[in-house]
Homo-oligomer: A and B are copies of this chain.
Amino acid sequence: MVQYMALDRTFSALSDSTRRAILDRLGRGPASISELAAPFGMSLTGLKKHVQILEAARLVTTEKVGRTRRCRLGPDHMEDAVRWIELHRRRWTRRLDELAAYVEQAREGPA
């Protein structure tokens, strides 16, 4: 159940294009809130809210350094989301393979 709620938060955090762009930016290295805000022409308050959502989903970690807040990608960065998608795709692909095998068999069957 805890795992389910964590996944809810991860996918929900990824469902906003600004937040995905923040993750892209942090993939190139850590940045302060104001460095993150600049390319979006967004207020610091607005950007902070997005960062908080990413932080709650453990996609980002932040650390106070002097008067600024450094943001970087979190340690468990998207692993649970990737695991869910991969597991789901594996099951689904197996199902498609079974279907293809069945069609093949049916075609060869009563020639």
Does B73 contact A78, Cβ atoms closer than 8 Å? no
Within 8 A of B (CB), among A1-32: 4-5, 7-12, 14-17, 20, 23-24, 27-29
What B residues does A7 contact at CB under 8 A?
15, 17, 20
Q: Does A15 contact B17, Cβ atoms closer than 8 Å? A: no
* A67 contacts the other chain (CB 8 A): no
Interface size class for chain A? 20 to 34
CB pair B95–A29 under 8 Å, yes or no, is yes
Verify A23–B73 contact, CB threshold 8 A: no
Q: Is the CB of B16 within 8 A of A8?
A: yes
Q: Are A4 and B27 in contact (CB under 8 A)?
A: no
Cα of A27 to Cα of B96 in the assembled complex, Å? 9
Which residues of chain A from 61 to 111 have any CB-CB distance to chain B below 8 Å in the complex?
Answer: 73, 77-78, 81-82, 84-85, 88-89, 91-92, 95
